[in-house]
Chain A
Amino acid sequence: MSRSVLIVDDDPFIRRLIATTLEDVAGFHIEEAGDGVEAVAAARDKQPAIVFLDIDMPRMNGIEACRELRSLDGKPTIVMLTAAGPEAEAEARAAGADLFLTKPFSPLDLLQLVDSMPS
């Protein structure tokens, strides 16, 4: 069974960019969500192994969504897409994020990050 990756960002362009970058890399099945509410629903439904989570989104932002995801049964690796700086990272970590990718993110960092995760 292929693992799935959930990409959560309110900007479809960023979602597409991450999805295209990860396509064919590790045989992941890719899911997308446009805000925190959709993300939590998708995570319940698909049990993704990895969630890429933007912070600044309508309806439910990434920090809240991260807390919600942590209360679910599945234990996805949550990668928070943050602005540069220690404060953004500290807030994301407090909400339960495992890893960070600073925007604008490097596609090579993105690939290495996924590559270094246990399969």
Chain B
Amino acid sequence: MEADLVARLEEKERQLERYAADLRETFKAERARSAQLRASYMATVRALANAVEARDAYTGHHAERVAAYGLELARTAALDIADDPQTEFGFLLHDVGKVAVPDAILFKPAPLTDEERVLMERHPVIGWEILRDIDFLGDAKLVVRHHHERWDGRGYPDSLAGDDIPPAARVFAVADTLDALTTDRPYRPAGSFADARAIIRAGAGRQFCPTSVAALETVSDERLEELRTGIS
């Protein structure tokens, strides 16, 4: 009788071990699938970002540099968005709406007319519309839509101000200007990080979020250079 009881308990034990083993294997398989999914999301985002950049030899790798600068600023400011893949997705895809801007406007070597500027300034909304139905791009879409907002509310497309601007878009504005000022353009050579810092500092509280500007102050020129050379 006792031997029978022991045998039955052992059977239960083996059965539970089998469940535990399946659970462990399922978890491992799920983790691997999820990593694979994340990698394919990132590859898709990069492909899309590269397709946009392929049009413009001058800004080559702009999106990747902005993403690297932006993530560094977010990490420095200890923002939660630094760990959210949506932030990097948004940084990489910010200009996807430019596919709808004609070459004659995008590459015009002279100031834009009012009409041309209206067209140009539609690119954040167009980008947001292009990505709207892609479920895995969540808050990334907010960066795309709001990357030209200004801290003082004088940006576009929604004239958001201050904390109403999504955090990643606030950080983005600083990273974007930093890269624009420190890369060669058809009409001027690249400026130094020091010059770019001075200009950005002057825009704190007007064009830029003060916290994001403060974060830039704590990142050294050497670190920025390291991020830049890591990309090209």
Contact = CB atoms under 8 A, between A and B. Distances in A.
Contacts of A107: 18-19, 22
A14 B15 contact: yes
Give chain A's interface residue range (CB within 8 Å of chain B).
10 to 19
Q: Would you list the 8 A-B pairs with minimal beta carbon distance, nearest first?
A: A104-B18, A104-B15, A104-B14, A108-B22, A107-B22, A106-B22, A107-B19, A13-B12
Contacts of A108: 22, 25-26
Interface of A: 11, 13-14, 17, 103-108
B117 interface: no
A103 B11 contact: yes
A17 B11 contact: no
Contacts, number: 27
A104 B9 CA distance: 12
B8 A105 contact: no
Contacts of B18: 104-107
B129 interface: no
Given A106-B22, A107-B22, A11 B14 contact: no
B1 to A, nearest CB: 14
A105 B17 CA distance: 10
Contacts of B11: 11, 103-104
Nearest to B14: A104
Contacts of B26: 108
Interface of B: 8, 11-12, 14-15, 17-19, 21-22, 25-26
27 contacts: A11-B8, A11-B11, A11-B12, A13-B12, A14-B12, A14-B15, A17-B15, A17-B19, A103-B11, A103-B14, A103-B15, A104-B11, A104-B14, A104-B15, A104-B17, A104-B18, A105-B15, A105-B18, A106-B18, A106-B21, A106-B22, A107-B18, A107-B19, A107-B22, A108-B22, A108-B25, A108-B26
Nearest to B13: A104
Contacts of B21: 106
Contacts of A104: 11, 14-15, 17-18
A13 B15 CA distance: 10
Nearest to A10: B8
A72 B196 CA distance: 87
A106 to B, nearest CB: 5
Contacts of B8: 11
Nearest to B29: A108
A13 B11 CA distance: 11
A16 B12 CA distance: 12
Interface centre among A11, A17, A104 (most CB of B within 10 A): A104
Contacts of A17: 15, 19
